[in-house]
Structure 1
Amino acid sequence: MLLLALDTATPAVTAALHDGRTVLAESSSVDARRHGELLLPAVDRVLADAGVKLDAVTHIVVGTGPGPYTGLRVGLMTAMTFGSALGLPVHGLCTLDALAYASGRDGSAGDFVVATDARRKEVYWARYSDLRTRLSEPAVDRPADIAEQVAGLPAVGAGAFLYPGTFPDAYAPEHVSAGALASLAAEKLAAGEELTEPRPLYLRRPDAQVPKNYKVVTPK
């Protein structure tokens, strides 16, 4: 197995290669406005660092979010393009799950939350019992609206650091890593688990919408 992992669901633009046992190479940059500009160079970098060509890749996994529309689709479309060009399976994996996995929390300390920045003073979040087990579906909410649900729980991710009033017990990692995404995907594939389709978890409509009073002009 040689698995290429990509994620652009958060400000982190991240790519990694995994051989089924360990991460061979990884590249990450944090820039919320340059996903399209940074992703392909990151892929080139991890291939070069691992000393392999793109046609040696056997699987592709991509973070499906949740995340903002513009950034999230960069990773998904890139993964789908690679898959189509190379004739490879493309697997999806929730970005929050990769953050939970990277936290290393084994469940001995109880439940925890993963929260990423959803902008508009909101967070994308889910609750976990350990680094592999999600207890709730990903959601998008204002931190104040979920304060009672997450009270007393440790939290991982940039969203937790942004809103200490709701998440006073925040832990690293702050951003997702493609290395963690790849490791979790490789573990699941080795166990015979089916990963999700590479479909985006937007959880809300994109900012760009057709104006309500848009007038359709037809030829006479």
Structure 2
Amino acid sequence: MLVLALDTATPAVTAGVVELTADGLRTRGASIAHDPRKHGELLIPGVLAACAEAGITLQDIEAVVTGIGPGPFTGLRVGMVTAASLGDALGVPVHGVCSHDAIAAEVVAAGPFLVVTDARRREVYWAAYNGTGRTHGPAVDAPAVLAARVAELGVVAAAGALADTVGLPVLEPSSATPEGLVAVAADALRTGADPGLLEPLYLRRPDAQEMSARKRVTTG
């Protein structure tokens, strides 16, 4: 099965083609660019570049996997809307996975660890993992608040773009990879499970708010 993997939950604009078999997976083509302000401009060119490297066209894609956050509102919705649009156009299922889970899937660690990414506003998104999966989060906190919980969480290292903010040894990767994204959805893809609705993990309200109704001005 050829799977298109996308993620825009961090400044990394990730697109890749991953071949999923009964007993493994392999990246056939990938494009990862870094620009927190150009997710919309970079994602589709990245998709086409990944397909070209894999030697396929979009019509060969059999499923789409996209990161659903946590991530800032503007960047995250680019990847999710693109994934949903491509899935509809190609007639293939679209699976959403936690972007932190995708990072964790690629981490090689000797003990429990954190995944920490940029939430802006001087805060971080984080989740904690052990050898069997996610144990806490995802959540959003100030780095100092998270650092104070390290002992309570029992973690010994951290991955993700802001791993160095919590005072623990830093692990790779810093962002979700195509293989990591597909690894999280692999069981569902192999069994043909219903992917369900794409639900973003914003964890807080977007910066832009709808204006309240203007007060009526009366005269007399």
Query: How many residue pairs were aligned?
Result: 210
Structure 1 residues 29 and 217, CA gap change in structure 2 (3 angstroms): farther
Identity of matched residues, %? 47
Q: CA deviation at 1:150?
A: 1.6
TM-score (norm 1): 0.87
Look up the SS of the partner of 2:15 in the other structure: strand
C-alpha separation between the residues in 2 aligned to 1:184 and 1:145? 28
Look up the SS of the partner of 1:78 in the other structure: helix
Letter in 2 for 1:55: Q
Equivalent residues of 1:112, 1:154 under 8 A apart: yes
> Pick from 156, 159, 170: which aligns with 1:156?
159
The equivalent residue for 2:73 is 69
Gaps of 5+ in 1: none
TM-score (norm 2): 0.87
Q: CA deviation at 1:217?
A: 6.8
The equivalent residue for 1:97 is 101
C-alpha separation between the residues in 1 aligned to 2:117 and 2:103? 9
The equivalent residue for 1:81 is 85
The equivalent residue for 1:24 is 28
The equivalent residue for 2:138 is 138
Aligned-residue CA RMSD (Å) = 2.1
Equivalent residues of 1:93, 1:196 under 8 A apart: no
C-alpha separation between the residues in 2 aligned to 1:110 and 1:188? 27
Equivalent residues of 2:94, 2:195 under 8 A apart: no
User: How is 1:108-127 mapped onto 2 (pairs within 5 angstroms)?
Assistant: 109-127=110-128
Gaps of 5+ in 2: none
C-alpha separation between the residues in 1 aligned to 2:193 and 2:156? 29
Q: CA deviation at 1:196?
A: 6.0
Equivalent residues of 2:5, 2:15 under 8 A apart: yes
Structure 1 residues 49 and 10, CA gap change in structure 2 (3 angstroms): same
Look up the SS of the partner of 1:10 in the other structure: coil
Look up the SS of the partner of 1:115 in the other structure: strand
C-alpha separation between the residues in 2 aligned to 1:179 and 1:114? 17
Letter in 1 for 2:45: P
